[in-house]
């Protein structure tokens, strides 16, 4: 069976405002064989990285500090056909209705759950839009 944790390093943008959570996600992404772009803690930082770095996919926290949401980054990535996954403690209910068809990984999550979602994102793109809450 194919597994995205073994390919040439794909580059994942990580947008997460909580430093400890961001470090945990970074460690898991690296353990699965990806390179981390960022991480970014704000929409502004994430959009700057999107404009200057090659990005193969993204993990986006929905609710960021200061009342920010990651929706502008999701819009940017969506327009460029870059796959992304929402990572949130609020589940599908926390998404803007425009993104209701996007995959959500509910925090907290474990490495096998992240691997499953990244496999779906990169190896089975048709499944990546399905709601699969852990």
For the chain, domain boundaries: 11-123
Question: What CATH number was assigned to the domain covering residues 11-123?
Answer: 3.40.50.2300
pTM of the model: 0.86
Q: What is the pLDDT along the chain (134 residues), one digit of tens a residue?
A: 455 555 468 999 999 999 999 999 999 999 999 999 999 999 999 999 999 999 999 999 999 988 899 999 999 999 999 999 999 988 888 899 999 889 999 999 999 999 999 999 988 755 444 433 32
Per DSSP, what are the bridge partners of residue 81? none
């Amino acid at each position: 069976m194919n597994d995205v944790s073994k390919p040439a390093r794909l580059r994942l943008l990580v947008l997460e405002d909580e430093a400890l959570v961001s470090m945990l996600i970074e460690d898991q992404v690296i353990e699965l064989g990806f390179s981390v772009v960022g991480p970014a803690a704000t929409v502004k930082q994430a959009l700057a990285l999107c404009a200057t770095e090659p990005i193969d996919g993204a993990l986006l926290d929905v609710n960021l500090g200061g009342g920010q949401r990651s929706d502008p980054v999701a819009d940017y990535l969506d327009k460029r056909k870059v796959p992304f996954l929402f990572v949130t403690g609020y589940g599908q209910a926390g998404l803007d209705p425009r993104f209701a068809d996007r995959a959500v990984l509910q925090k907290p999550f474990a490495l096998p759950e992240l691997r499953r979602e990244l496999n779906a994102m990169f190896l089975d793109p048709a499944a990546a839009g399905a709601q699969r809450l852990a």
